[in-house]
Amino acid sequence: MQRLIPHLKIWGPLYVPFALTIIGFFAIRTTFAIVSLEWMAILTFGGLFVFFGLFLRGMIIGLIDPLVVPNRKMNVTIENNGLGVMLGETRWYLFLDGVTGVTEYVDGLWTIEHWNGSIVHIPKHLVSADQLNHIRERMSHGATADSVTETIKRGKLIQELTQSENRR
């Protein structure tokens, strides 16, 4: 429940039921169209179901994940420019200059939102005041012109590294 409540607050108490109702309607209507073999309805409602499902995938995953996996074990590291999250055997990094919000929606839990749609929940006692200040400093730096230049350089470097790995 602790990870579910922030998602409900982020998306809004009116938007979540509305979006789920729309997606549910298209899913049910597509199912009826498949059963009755109405090809135009299958294409129309199926297409709308897929479109809204993809468009709202962040919200859908954010609502389903806490219900399916109530306690997610992860290893979080806060470095100079990144937030590393280890899920299973894979470590994922979010650049701190892309953080759009650090909020305590639920007592004892920091919710870190990234511009790419990623959301990380970290228990409050695991983040020191210095680390929190560092995240917020990098977040505010992300809104400057210098940060945009750094991000472009970083993107080009990542692209070059990816291309060199793919050539091997």
Predicted local distance difference test score (pLDDT) of residue 3? 67
Domain range for 62 is 4-68
Predicted local distance difference test score (pLDDT) of residue 2? 65
Predicted local distance difference test score (pLDDT) of residue 40? 94
Predicted local distance difference test score (pLDDT) of residue 107? 87
Residue type, 109: L
Residues in the chain, pLDDT under 50: none
What's the structural domain count of the chain? Answer: 2
Residues 61 and 95 both lie in one domain: no
What pTM was estimated for this model as a whole? 0.69
Q: What is the share, in percent, of the chain residues with pLDDT greater than 90?
A: 20
Please say which residue of 15, 47, 68 terminates a domain.
68
